[in-house]
Structure formats: C-alpha cells, structure tokens
Amino acid sequence: MQEAQRDDRVETAQALLNEGMRLVMHLGDAVDREQRQELVDSGQWLAEVTERASGRA
C-alpha cells in the first residue's frame, strides 16, 4: 500500500484498500489497532488524491 501511495498509483492503492477493508470486516478483532490505523490513513490519502484529481482541492 505504501509503495502504491509513494508512486501515486491510485487504482492499485484503491484495490488494496478495498481488500484490506474486506479483511477487517471478515477478521474483526483479529486485526490490530496499528493495521486498522494504516487503513484509515490510506483511505484519507485516497480521498485527498481523488479531490486533487477532480480539481476540488
């Protein structure tokens, strides 16, 4: 995920985020706090990149 973010590969990052969210939903409490925070951070990054790309930011 971090590599995709560094390279601005939005589609790859989005696919990885979607998979991560699916796993969190499936695994529930087995996912630790740090892993959940990484997903939140990635979601925020994707939102920012999407806004910039659409000219809203």
Dihedral over alpha carbons 49, 29, 34, 23 (to 10 degrees): -40
Confidence band for 56, pLDDT divided at 50, 70 and 90: low
CA distance 57 to 49: 9
Whether 19 has a pLDDT exceeding 70, the answer reads yes
Answer with the residue of higher pLDDT: 32 or 12.
32
User: Does pLDDT of 51 surpass 60?
Assistant: yes
pLDDT (average), residues 28-52: 86
| pLDDT of 3 over the 80 cut | no
- The domain of 17 spans 2-54
- What is the pLDDT confidence band of residue 14, given thresholds at 50, 70 and 90? confident
pLDDT score for 34: 92
Q: Provide, for the chain, the percentages of residues in helix, strand and coil under a 3-state DSSP scheme, each rounded to the nearest 5.
A: 85, 0, 15
Into how many domains does the chain fold? 1
